[in-house]
A and B are shown apart, each in its own frame.
Chain A
Amino acid sequence: MTQLPDDRELDMLAADYVMGLLDSVAEAAADERLETDESFQRAVNNWRKRLGDFDISAPPVTPTAQLWQRIVQSTKADRAAVVPAGMRGATRGATLWHNLRFWRVTGLIGTAAALIFAFIAIGSITTSKHLRRDLVALAQRKPVYVAVLVSDATREVGAVVNAFANGRVELIPLKTIDVPQGRTLQVWTLWDRAVGPKPVGLTGQSRAIDLNLDELPETVANQLFEITLEPEGGSPTGRPTGPILFKGNTAKVL
């Protein structure tokens, strides 16, 4: 090992920092250094990777039901917190299906609610829009299929494609891709080899985008997604012409 003493000291500081062995003053200084010092960032990242198997192998413990609700409240007590509670009420309703008294009361409440709703609906169409958006958000929270796009050359993960139940498909880049002047990144999918790859998205730089698969059949497992480098405005032939930067197949989310 031909390590310079300075590097060793930096690595040991990073190790103590990651281990949690620094006293509070030294830790605060390290926190600050982490913001600005790239070599320290690298050293800390390396120690997190080295010791990470301890975390991955910790025995899982089921959280109590309230924990997520508390997190929602603390991260901002907004409408998103109200909707899941309402959804739980809806499922509880099923067990009350045969309860006559419940229905009598519900009938009265229902009438009152209908009146109140009529008032609210007139005044605030935006509210129902928000509510609908939240409900949709709830349904599409978790993607049905995921493709991790990897570079053949470097084996680096470049982006993730998430396909949701409502048909929305998004691409989230995880690496900054240098796009030369006059070129663009184009996203393709191949669900039928006989038909060939179809263009589904175009972006000048690596940023999260929604892909347009409206014209295509529903996304399925093992469907190929890839990103190629194309002339500005997209491939002139409708087929990939440039190098494939990242590619990967969809897998069903467990």
Chain B
Amino acid sequence: MIRNGSLDDRTGVALLNVEREAQMSAALVRCAAGDRRALQMIYDSEAPRMIGVARRILFRQDLAEEAVHDAFVRIWNGARSFDPARGAALGWLYAVVRNRALSIHRNEHRYDSAGEHPEEIAPEDAMARLPEASALRKCLEQIERPRRDVVVLAYVYGMSHGELAGRLKVPLGTVKSWARRSLISLQECMG
């Protein structure tokens, strides 16, 4: 990518994300118009990361691919409902992927997955992968564990209130109040 030499790395990364966001937004507009090439553009650009997102929820490659397959069918059929004026194309795309992965997780894998792969559920890992400059990371770091873990485990690993209560060995009510307090802190910190 041709870049002005005076840009530092962080600006470069931010610009790259702005560009990726704009590209995906444009591709969704083209999908809505029935342009199949645009769907493949989204696939070429995002599929590996989408499978990464689905795998953290479903653990198995085949199930993760199933979720991404279902997500692309939804993206193709639902592109019209995406409004580029409101922005957040990447947010929309990944929301579809998480939604499909959660649906598979809840329907087919509710009881066994967390039990089968406890070692793969590591909230610290997901935290460590966040970019250093990420506001999400900075704000999460201000919340004490295990209250913070509730957010990471629910969002990244797709755990329900019930699963969280089981893993953290606290009553359901406690999990719900931790989740609420953490989300309020996050919102106040991130604006």
Q: Which of B34-52 contact A (CB under 8 A)?
A: 36-37, 39-41, 43-44, 47-49, 51-52
Partner of A141, one of B23, B41, B161: B41
Contact with A along B70-87 (1 / 0, CB 8 A): 001100110000001111
Q: Are A251 and B1 in contact (CB under 8 A)?
A: yes
Q: How many residues of chain A get a CB closer than 8 Å to chain B's CBs?
A: 58
Chain A: CB-nearest residue to B39: A75
Residues from chain A with a CB closer than 8 A to the CB of B18 are 148, 157
In the assembled complex, B114 has its CB within 8 A of some CB on chain A: no
From the candidates A61, A157, A162, name the one contacting B64 in the complex (CB within 8 A).
A61
**A59-B52, A75-B39 known, 19 other contacts, Cβ within 8 Å:** A48-B91, A51-B136, A52-B88, A54-B130, A54-B155, A55-B53, A56-B17, A59-B129, A60-B51, A61-B52, A68-B40, A75-B36, A75-B73, A80-B36, A137-B36, A142-B41, A176-B85, A208-B30, A251-B1
Cβ-closest 3 pairs across A and B: A48-B91, A58-B52, A60-B48
In the complex, are the beta carbons of B47 and A67 less than 8 A apart?
yes
A63-B48, A63-B68 known; A137-B86 Cβ under 8 A? no
Chain B: CB-nearest residue to A158: B22
Find out whether the CB atom of B87 lies under 8 angstroms from the CB atom of A71. Answer: no
CB neighbours of B3 from chain A (8 A): 251
A99 part of interface (Cβ distance < 8 Å)? no
Give Cα A221 to B17, complex, Å: 19
Kindly list chain A residues whose C-beta atoms are within 8 Å of the C-beta of B41. Answer: 141-142
Contacting A at CB under 8 A, from B98-151, are: 98-99, 102, 106, 126, 129-131, 134-137, 151
Bound: A18/B138 CA distance, A: 20
Residue of B nearest to A42 (CB): B86
B46 to chain A, nearest CB (A): 9
Which residues of B11-41 are within 8 A (CB) of A?
17-19, 21-23, 25-26, 29-30, 33, 36-37, 39-41
> A49 to chain B: which residues have CB within 8 Å?
88, 91
Residue B61, interface by CB 8 Å: yes
CB of B154 closer than 8 Å to a CB of A: yes
Q: Are A174 and B85 in contact (CB under 8 A)?
A: yes
**Distance between A126 CB and nearest chain B CB, rounded to angstroms:** 19
The answer to whether A45 and B2 have CB atoms under 8 Å apart is: no
In Å, the complex CA distance between A162 and B186 comes to 37
Quote the shortest CB–CB distance from A1 to chain B (angstroms).
Answer: 6
Contact check, A70 vs B53: say whether CB atoms are below 8 A apart: no
A45 near B87 (CB under 8 angstroms)?
yes
Assuming the A-B contacts A15-B183, A20-B155, A175-B85, are A56 and B65 also in contact, with contact meaning beta carbons closer than 8 angstroms in the complex?
A: no
Q: Does A64 contact B (CB under 8 A)?
A: yes
- Determine whether the beta carbon of A56 is less than 8 Å from that of B88: no
